[in-house]
Amino acid sequence: MTTQTSLQSNKTYTQDQLKEIVFVPSKESLPKIERKEEITSLTHTDLHDTLLYIQDVLERSQIPFIVVGDLARQMLREDTPTLVGDKVEVVVLRKYITESTGSFLKTFLRLVGDIEDKIETDYNNTPIVIHVIDKDYPFFRNPDTRFYYITEFRFPNPFEDYWKEKDNI
In CATH, the number for domain 44-168 is 3.30.460.40
Segment among 16-20, 22-26, 142-146 with least mean pLDDT? 22-26
Segment among 29-43, 49-63, 145-159 with least mean pLDDT? 29-43
Amino acid at 148: Y
The residue among 71, 68, 50, 75 whose CA lies nearest residue 169 is: 68
pLDDT tier at 87 (50, 70, 90 boundaries)? very high
Q: Is the dihedral of CA 82, 83, 85, 86 positive or negative?
A: negative
Answer whether 71's CB lies under 8 Å from 52's CB.
no
Residue 79 CB neighbour total at 10 angstroms: 10
Query: What backbone phi and psi angles, to 5 degrees, belong to 122?
Result: -155, 165
Answer whether 129's CB lies under 8 Å from 58's CB.
no
